[in-house]
Homo-oligomer: A and B are copies of this chain.
Amino acid sequence: MEKRKIAVVGAGLVGCGWAIVFARAGFRVNVFDVDPSIRAAVTGRISAALADMEMAGLVEERETIAARVTVEDELRSAVRGASYVQESVFERQDIKKDVSSQIDAVMHPQAIVGSSSSGIPASAFTEHLKNRERFLVVHPVNPPHLVPLVELVRAPWTDSAALASVRELMEEVGQTPITVRREIEGFVLNRLQGALLNEAWALFEEGYASAEDIDRTVRDGLGLRWSFMGPFETIDLNAPGGVGDYAQRLGPLYHKIALDRRDPRPWSEALIRRVEAERRAKLSPDELAERRAWRDRRLMALVAHRRRMITEEQ
């Protein structure tokens, strides 16, 4: 097993992002995808992303980085000798289970396997594996080479040492790992996002505000501080006596807000159509792709800004 060798299995947007994360940190990366047309696109995709990142000042020597990535035609040859395997195949339990079995059969017995699963817990697709104590969920945000957060979620049988070792690896490659201590639907990130989204959809449905005004509230209000502090630090600094003081004052208000939402309804078809109509009036279907490219440029610029801030503070 080579400590500096990583395998990426599944080479869509997430897999290619992971390949960049590891190659940027100096690791050799073997990339595999079952679909030959996806395999054929990997090198071009990674080069294009690295070129954008170089423009934004996020990487230097992009050719050196790109050269660390090898596309393999077989899962076996990609995984062989790798100390860590990042699996990023399609999010369906039977597919995750099948691919995990294939990895299990050929992986080095000391290797660790992280799944990019955004919702399916590792216990749902790793129980039958011989190396199951070294499988866990390593859930990134898309795209992982720009958004550093990674959720580590162990199955009941995942070894603590394997978890600790992945946490260390993620820190080494510049990601921000968090540990979700037990499996839970949505893990932490999507639960937090979902709580805010559910309130946003309810306020829209009840006519309190337009989707655009709700977006403004986050973009020009809550989101500024949240992009460099979390919600706990935000409230800790928002009352003279810190978080306890804040919680005493505002806890009752937030409890009343929660009580209003004791009977949550699903987002109905009619409601979805109304939100969609408002969004499409602002951004037509054929503008979506360009807006996604804009988002990635803004993300890169923001990441570069945050890096300058942290460097200045040191």
Contacts and interface: CB of A to CB of B under 8 A. Distances in A.
Interface of A: 119, 141-142, 146-149, 151, 176, 178-182, 184-186, 188-200, 203, 207-233, 235-238, 242-244, 247-248, 250-267, 272-273, 275-276, 279-280, 283, 285, 288, 291-292, 295, 298-299, 301-303, 305, 309
24 contacts: A119-B253, A149-B217, A149-B221, A176-B219, A176-B221, A184-B208, A185-B256, A188-B213, A188-B217, A189-B217, A189-B221, A189-B222, A192-B199, A195-B198, A214-B231, A218-B230, A224-B302, A227-B302, A237-B288, A237-B295, A242-B279, A248-B272, A255-B265, A262-B262
A257 B302 contact: no
A222 B302 CA distance: 13
B196 A192 contact: yes
Secondary structure at the A interface, as helix, strand, loop or mixed, is: helix
Nearest to A151: B217
Contacts of A255: 198, 264-267
A204 to B, nearest CB: 8
Given A181-B207, A191-B203, A224 B224 contact: no
Given A188-B213, A255-B266, A259-B264, 8 more contacts: A141-B221, A178-B209, A178-B217, A182-B207, A186-B253, A186-B254, A226-B227, A262-B263
Contacts of A275: 232, 243-244, 247
A97 to B, nearest CB: 20
A265 B252 CA distance: 10
Contacts of A285: 242
B247 A258 contact: no
Output the residue of A221, A231, A264, A301 with the most chain B CB within 10 A: A221
